[in-house]
Amino acid sequence: MALSKKQNHRLGCILAVMFKDSLPSDMLNELIKDGFIKISGQDYLLTTSGKDEKNRLCTLSGLNIMYSSEKKKEIS
């Protein structure tokens, strides 16, 4: 399933925050306003809502992109 233009834009911005890429301030402000990222010192971090939105959009687009802390540990 293809993402809408808005969903694609949002996912790209969330991934840019995850990978510490630069984003224009208007895009950062939109993500902050929507509750997907928060400011922590000099860094921008995904909130729980941001991670949920990233996972939802990745699932819709057939991607599996996670922080290493999100990966389930394998049971031996």
How many domains is the chain built from?
Answer: 1
The whole-number pLDDT of residue 65 equals 76
pLDDT for position 26: 93
* Positions in the chain whose pLDDT score sits under 50: 74, 76
Question: How high is the pLDDT of residue 67?
Answer: 67
pLDDT given at position 2: 83
**Number of neighbours of residue 1 by Cβ within 10 angstroms:** 6
Specify the pLDDT at position 16.
95
- Asked if residue 30 belongs to a domain, the reply is yes
Task: Please tell me the predicted confidence (pLDDT) of residue 7.
Answer: 94
* d(C-alpha 8, C-alpha 65), whole Å: 14
Decide: residue 74, CB within 10 A, 0-12 exposed, 13-18 middle, 19+ buried.
exposed
Give the span between the Cα atoms of 1 and 24, in whole angstroms.
Answer: 28
Please report whether residue 73 resides in a domain: no
Q: Note down the domain range covering 22.
A: 5-59
pLDDT at 71: 64
The answer as to whether 75 is a domain residue is no
